[in-house]
Amino acid sequence: IGSNEYYRTEEKRNKNSVKNFSDIQINQLNTDNKEDKFVKEALTKKDGLVQEFDLNSQEKDEIKKEFKHNSKEEENLSNRDIYEKEMAKQSFFKSEYEEREGEKYTEDNAKSKKIFNQITKKADSNVNKKKPKLKPKTKIKIKSSFKKIIFLGIFVLISVLFITTFPYSKVYIEVSDLTVSDNVTVTAAVDENKADFDRRIITARKIEKDITKKVSVLPTGNSDTRPQKAKGVITIYNEFSSKPQPLVKTTRFLSKEGVLFRLPKNIVVPGIEIKEGKKVPGKIEVLIVADKTGKSSNIGATNFTIPGFKGTAKEEKIYAVSESKMSGGSDGTDNYKTVTAKDIEKAKKEAEKDSEKYVIEEIEKILKPGEEILLKNAVKLTLVRSESDAVLGSAVEKVSYSITNHVTAIIINKQDIEKIVEYALKQKKSNVSKDAKLEYEFKDIDPDFNLGKLVININATEKIDGTVDKDEFKKEILNKTHEEVEQLVKEKYPAITDISIAPTPSAPSIFADRISSRKWMTKIIEK
């Protein structure tokens, strides 16, 4: 260990033979020779003292050679760092370089430490081995300007492909209100079990009922304190025979309470009828008068038998029922006025006024609310009774007049009517919207009460509001051909009366007849 001056001549070596290794090393510590410093550090022990033994020339040359190689490598690494830092200022990947630089710095420190340890180990063991040289990494670098050109070319290529593959479409639509109307003839039949829309037939229900309208007015005759007989209306039923049953004036009727009443005139009770395969007893409403005066005859609704039929087959088959109480019976202490002809005529006019309207209102009370419809011309009225409960010249509290009609009505179902009308309109024009407003009006009604049928002529109209949800329409036409779009309009958008589509002129022919699959590349324009 030492400079070349020390090993130059034999004379100098002899002159300095008295010097030991420590003296030489101490002198070298004062020099700026880096090679000697490197060699000295390699031979220094942990306690800082220099190992005192001689190294031959070959060993010293190897140590110095290692030093030169490492110094050169460090210089190369330093120059490479300066170059890469300058390049990083212009690079798109500055952050990537900084990360690599940090990794390289750590790697280089590890390499230097490893080399130092290897040299120290070699000096201590005097092993004559050469350390393999470290080869610097080779990196392929691409200039930033070339990267920009590549990136721009790729972007232009993708843009051209995107525009030509997915054409920009303009869809022009004309929207207006739409009205669909038709005259529909519907048959409502009692004997049908379910509706048949193709045959325009719906089910119906038949109602038969006696409805009585009764009004009262005050008597205007002179006061009469004589005792009066009670009066009232009863319904006589004939379940005995299909033949009519005549009853003469003064025929007796006995209530279950034991109060006796009589007929004031001759009547005929109709016989049994066969309706819809069932026996229907004949019936008639009549006025009866109590056999005796007094308030005891003012009894409530009850049942009556005919004493004249007692002990015969007719006793239980011909009978009567009252639905209202008997009234007018007096002991002569009530000071009632007598009934005049004008009083009876006045009561009759009041009873006949709006008689048909009254009957319809009474029928509507027994319909299913919101489900059944009673048409005005689908009602048949048969007058059963029209008379006053009061006797001319009698003293009564009030003069009553009753009009009884036998009512036959054919009832139809509202939901069936709406369904069959909607069905008929769809048959006429297939693009009727579900959200359209349905209106219908009953025109001509031809009833057949014997068969229980109604032939109804209906004027039906469906109005469609001329508005289209453009966003929803756009979603439905995406990626469809022009022909598919037109078919969609016919089936679902009747408010669109005209449509035209203008695709991008530069689009390839394979895509020219198709709406883009991108929502933002399709525009809906209302004319």
What per-residue confidence (pLDDT) applies to 106? 53
Compute CA distances 378 → 418, 442, 456, whole Å: 18, 12, 10
Judged against a pLDDT cut of 80, whether residue 467 lies above it is answered with no
The pLDDT of 369-398, averaged and rounded, is: 87
Indicate the DSSP class of residue 364.
Answer: H
- Could you tell me if 166 and 516 are in contact, meaning their C-beta atoms sit under 8 angstroms apart? yes
What per-residue confidence (pLDDT) applies to 474? 86
Judged against a pLDDT cut of 60, whether residue 296 lies above it is answered with yes
* Number of alpha helices (DSSP H) and beta strands (DSSP E) in the chain: 11, 22
The pLDDT of 313-335, averaged and rounded, is: 88
DSSP-derived pairing of the beta strands 201-217 and 178-189: parallel
Question: Rg of the Cα trace of the chain?
Answer: 62
Q: For 1-140, where are the alpha helices, taking DSSP H only?
A: 10-15, 21-28, 34-42, 57-88, 94-125
Judged against a pLDDT cut of 50, whether residue 213 lies above it is answered with yes
Bridge partners, residue 237, by sequence: 283, 319
Judged against a pLDDT cut of 80, whether residue 257 lies above it is answered with yes
Q: Break the chain down into helix, strand, coil percent, rounded to 5.
A: 35, 30, 35
Please tell me which residue, 249 or 222, carries the higher pLDDT value.
249
Per-residue confidence at 76, pLDDT binned at 50, 70, 90? low
Within a 10 A sphere around the Cβ of 421, how many other Cβ atoms? 23
The pLDDT of 60-68, averaged and rounded, is: 60
Half-sphere exposure in the Cβ direction for 262 (13 Å, CA): 10
- Could you tell me if 437 and 180 are in contact, meaning their C-beta atoms sit under 8 angstroms apart? no
What per-residue confidence (pLDDT) applies to 248? 96
Q: How far apart are CA 288 and CA 260, in angstroms?
A: 10
Please tell me which residue, 259 or 521, carries the higher pLDDT value.
259
Q: How far apart are CA 103 and CA 99, in angstroms?
A: 6
What per-residue confidence (pLDDT) applies to 237? 96
152: three-class secondary structure by DSSP: helix
Q: How far apart are CA 409 and CA 194, in angstroms?
A: 19
The token duo for 515 is 């709406």
Task: Please state, for a pLDDT cut of 70, what percent of the chain lies above it.
Answer: 67
The token duo for 513 is 């007849």
Please tell me which residue, 479 or 49, carries the higher pLDDT value.
479
- Could you tell me if 224 and 239 are in contact, meaning their C-beta atoms sit under 8 angstroms apart? no
Mean of per-residue pLDDT scores for the chain? 76
Phi then psi for residue 35, to 5 deg, are: -65, -45
> Which of 113-117, 396-400, 512-516 is predicted least confidently?
113-117
Judged against a pLDDT cut of 50, whether residue 32 lies above it is answered with no
Per-residue confidence at 97, pLDDT binned at 50, 70, 90? very low
Widest Cα–Cα separation across the chain? 188
Q: Best-predicted range by mean pLDDT among 59-73, 122-136, 287-301, 393-407?
A: 287-301
Q: For 307-340, where are the alpha helices, taking DSSP H only?
A: none
The token duo for 108 is 């280089």
Exposed (0-12), middle (13-18) or buried (19+): which is 524, by Cβ within 10 Å? middle
Q: Residues in the chain, how many?
A: 527
What per-residue confidence (pLDDT) applies to 290? 94
> Which of 54-68, 102-116, 239-253, 286-300 is predicted least confidently?
102-116
What confidence tens digit (pLDDT) does each residue in 178-201 have? 777 788 899 999 988 888 988 899
The token duo for 254 is 């006995």
Please tell me which residue, 340 or 166, carries the higher pLDDT value.
340
Judged against a pLDDT cut of 50, whether residue 23 lies above it is answered with no
What per-residue confidence (pLDDT) applies to 47? 39
Sheet holding 437-448, edge to edge: 372-388, 399-413, 201-217, 178-189, 453-464, 437-448
The pLDDT of 294-320, averaged and rounded, is: 94
The pLDDT of 8-24, averaged and rounded, is: 46
Q: How far apart are CA 429 and CA 178, in angstroms?
A: 11
Within a 10 A sphere around the Cβ of 358, how many other Cβ atoms? 16
Of residues 277, 262, 324, 337, the one with CA closest to residue 298: 324
